[in-house]
Amino acid sequence: MHEQFLLFGATGDLAAGQVFPALANLLRDRLLPANFRVHAVAKHPFETQEAFRDWLLERVHARAGDCRRHGRAARAAAAHRLHLD
């Protein structure tokens, strides 16, 4: 299984609405390797990785609507595996 995922367009609607929630679900269901990492490339500049994670979690939470669907804790845990390039 692959241990890295390279995502171009990390600040786009598709990433926030579909890709990141799906990755959070895979993480929640323990279907990803323990050392799995997402390398996100974004057009929008962020000063730190934490700033990107905070922005992403806000956006995903807003789009998810029903937090039970994807699980707030799973999304938060997945965000710590993100690396903004």
Domains and CATH numbers, the chain: 4-84 (3.40.50.720)
Find the mean pLDDT for residues 31-43. Answer: 87
Find the mean pLDDT for residues 9-27. Answer: 86
* pTM of the predicted protein model: 0.69
* pLDDT greater than 70 at residue 52: yes
Task: Please enumerate in sequence order all residues whose Cβ is within 8 A of that of 14, keeping only pairs 6 or more positions apart, or say none.
Answer: none
* pLDDT greater than 80 at residue 58: yes
Find the mean pLDDT for residues 57-85. Answer: 61
With b for 16 or more beta-carbon neighbours within 10 A and e for fewer, the 48-57 pattern comes to eeeebbeebb
